[in-house]
Amino acid sequence: MSQRSCLSVILAAGEGTRMKSALPKVLHQIAGLPMVAHVVKAAEAAGAGDQALVIGHGAEEMRKAAAKFAPKAESFVQEKRLGTAHAVLAARDAISKGYDDVLVMFGDTPLIDPGALIAARRKLAEGVAVVVIGFRTPNPTGYGRLIEKSGKLVAIREEKDCSEEEREITFCNGGLMAVAGAQALKLLDAVGNKNAKGEYYLTDIVEIASARGLDVVATEASFENALGINNRSELAQAEGIWQARRRQEAMLSGVTLIAPETVYFSHDTEIGADTIVEPNVWFGPGVKIATGAKIHAFSHIEGATIASNCDVGPYARLRPGADLRQKAKVGNFCEVKQAVVEEGAKVNHLTYIGDARVGAGANIGAGTITCNYDGYSKFFTDIGEGAFVGSNSSLVAPVTIGMGAYIASGSVITESVPDDALAFGRARQKTIPGKGKELRERFASAAAAKKK
């Protein structure tokens, strides 16, 4: 298998009008990744070294997106929509390069398991010309039936064309195919359009190959592998299936999910063993968590790196660039963005740390913020090792708080503070006896006057 070359032809030209969106259907996301990118990843995992994307609606937008998730893929535009075989032939130049195997996939089936593709490729390696990936369902209504005789697939019959006996078949067409590269163009070029819609159907190659004495078989995969997305309801269904798979994978790898159904992963979430994730946690793209961390309830994390034995939340928000080192703590209602929180440092509650470094062992009091933005540019705050920043302090960047420095509560710090220094940045308190009563009486009189 590893010696066989493989091309995946991914059909992604559908307009997706039922999505009710200006965005091409296959660019709608599952777990933070366009659904077509999931298909590309599955193809790559199955050994398809090259990809051909057949695009149509939103072609330029598709090219820009593909440059991120499939930078080496060739794009081919299907100018007219004349059926699935016609769509595959849009990639004729790629197919003609002489691959051993050609996988035909759909950009709106994001749950395809690489294992199903590998099983189909194994059949090609055994000399089969066409492999159709099917699924079984107790309710086959609406699906094309796979007609088999003596272990070989002889036809794919659309339900409206099925006999009463064929309607009872529960083995259905999943749409995905693997075709021997040496036969692919010969079979595709033989497909005609003598049907009610005047279209060229990919499924016709089954009967064409059988008539030529070539071996055609069907392999079986779960229904999820063939689940196509046509509307937002189905998109949500696919998201649910993907998340359930990922949660199970995480728990089997040693991660504790206290309420698994409430935790949402991204396509690239990395999470180490012995990490505990409490309910209602959302992981966006780019999150890496080492072993033994604890993520408390209702935290929102994206683009962040969390080292071993860190403690996050509850209700914490880690934005892109947040980098928590070993045993760091970011507590409830705290936000960290583009900042390093070094080993053992604590950012406990109601605090914003942005464009900053919090040194090892430092303690940031409640309500502290780094004032990093002046409306035009971002500036850096450096907080030294072992520093103590009192509650409700504002650190106006650019500013440096030295090692072991102490910032008095309620301070506005606009100048750098040396190591081990104490800094006050607030007005001295003044108390005027009786003035409070005087103010209350004045305010009450003014309010009463307004009501008259």
Catalytic residues: 349
C-alpha torsion 327→328→334→339, nearest 10 = -140
Q: By C-alpha distance, which of 103, 96, 81 is closest to 189?
A: 96
- Determine the residue type at 318: L
Q: Check if the beta carbon of residue 109 is closer than 8 Å to that of residue 8.
A: no
Q: Is 329 helix (H, G, I), strand (E, B) or coil?
A: strand
Could you tell me the two tokens for 124?
């090609």
Using CB atoms within 10 Å of the CB of residue 443, give its burial: 0 to 12 exposed, 13 to 18 middle, 19+ buried: exposed
| Rg of the chain over all Cα atoms, to the nearest angstrom | 31
Distance (Å, rounded) from C-alpha 75 to C-alpha 389?
Answer: 55
Distance (Å, rounded) from C-alpha 295 to C-alpha 275?
Answer: 8
Q: Check if the beta carbon of residue 10 is closer than 8 Å to that of residue 52.
A: yes
Q: By C-alpha distance, which of 162, 9, 172 is closest to 85?
A: 9
Distance (Å, rounded) from C-alpha 430 to C-alpha 255?
Answer: 55
Distance (Å, rounded) from C-alpha 20 to C-alpha 23?
Answer: 9
Buried b (16+ CB within 10 A) or exposed e, 327-350: bbbbbbbbbbbbbbbbbbbbbbbb
Buried b (16+ CB within 10 A) or exposed e, 222-231: eebbbbbbee
Partnered with residue 104 across adjacent β-strands are 9, 177
Tell how far CA 451 is from the center of its chain.
58
Could you tell me the two tokens for 360?
């090892």
Nearest 5°: phi and psi at 396? -90, 105
Distance (Å, rounded) from C-alpha 340 to C-alpha 378?
Answer: 16
Q: How many CB atoms lie within 10 A of CB 434?
A: 7
Could you tell me the two tokens for 324?
């928590």
Dihedral of alpha carbons 76, 80, 81, 83, sign:
negative
Query: Strands 216-220 and 50-55, how do they pair?
Result: unpaired
Distance (Å, rounded) from C-alpha 297 to C-alpha 417?
Answer: 36
